[in-house]
């Protein structure tokens, strides 16, 4: 969040999509939850952004919380609640797609594309092409890291990319 000059924010992993509906109610009863001013829920679209949005809305309703009527918008209540579905400009995809979109013009992406074409010709090819592409891209960096998050800390993704505009606009609503 430093890149956006956003401070005084906490990030909590609730356990991903499979565990969100079970873990979110517990998160809501944690001490200090009543002091939260903004709550941003960010999730991958996977194969259908609208289905992911509806799933989060359902969990919020069960907790008797304000429910955003649109993706990428916050409610007016307290806490103000917003839902962002990645990559943010598509009905399908995930964080890895968003990261790759930020470096699509990086010369290393030609190496990644060649590698993935070769890997996809194997009998046992990658189950998740976007995740495999991210790993291949990170392997081209001077200091190899094993996750998109560590790649972000190293500055390997292009935080100035227009591909991040939807996410930046969403996060700017936090202040």
Domain boundaries, the chain: 2-92+163-172, 104-156
3-state helix, strand, coil in the chain (%, to 5): 45, 10, 45
Mean pLDDT (whole number) for 115-135: 93
Mean pLDDT calculated for residue range 6-10: 74
At 3 the pLDDT is 60
pLDDT exceeds cutoff 90 at 154:
yes
Give which of 90, 68, 89 is closest to 79, Cα–Cα. 68
DSSP conformation class of 41: E
Average pLDDT over residues 111-128: 93
Q: For residue 39, which phi and psi values (nearest 5 degrees)?
A: -135, 115
Mean pLDDT, range 169-174, rounded to an integer: 89
The two three-digit tokens of residue 33, written as one number: 């939850």
Q: Give the model's pLDDT for residue 131.
A: 96
> What is the reported pLDDT for 5?
67
Whether the pTM exceeds 0.95: the reply is no
- Does residue 100 register a pLDDT over 70? yes
Output the DSSP codes for 52-96: HHHHHHHHHHHTT----SSTT-B-SSSSEEEEEEETSSSSSB-HH
Three-state secondary-structure class, residue 147 = coil
- pLDDT bracket for residue 88 (50, 70, 90): confident
Average pLDDT over residues 96-111: 97
Of the listed ranges 15-19, 84-88, 106-110, the one predicted with least confidence: 15-19
**pLDDT at site 6:** 65
pLDDT value at residue 4: 62
Q: How far apart are CA 82 and CA 116, in angstroms?
A: 35
Query: CA-to-CA distance for 20 and 26, rounded, in angstroms?
Result: 10
Rounded to the nearest 10 degrees, the angle between the axes of helix 95-102 and helix 129-139 is: 40
């Amino acid at each position: 969040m430093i890149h956006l000059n956003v401070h005084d924010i906490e990030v909590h992993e609730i356990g991903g999509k499979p565990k969100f509906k079970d873990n979110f109610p517990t998160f809501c009863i944690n001490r200090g939850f009543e002091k939260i001013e903004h709550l941003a829920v960010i999730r991958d679209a996977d194969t259908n952004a609208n289905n992911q949005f509806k799933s989060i809305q359902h969990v919020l309703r069960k907790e008797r919380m304000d429910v955003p009527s649109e993706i990428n918008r916050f409610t007016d209540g307290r806490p103000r609640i917003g839902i962002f579905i990645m990559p943010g400009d598509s009905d399908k995809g995930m964080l890895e797609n968003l990261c790759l979109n930020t470096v699509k013009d990086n010369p290393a992406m030609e190496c990644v594309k060649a590698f993935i074409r070769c890997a996809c010709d194997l009998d046992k090819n990658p189950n998740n092409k976007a995740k495999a592409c991210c790993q291949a891209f990170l392997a081209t960096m001077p200091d190899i890291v094993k996750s998109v998050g560590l790649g972000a800390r190293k500055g390997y993704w292009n935080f100035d990319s227009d591909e991040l505009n939807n996410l930046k606009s969403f996060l700017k609503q936090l202040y």
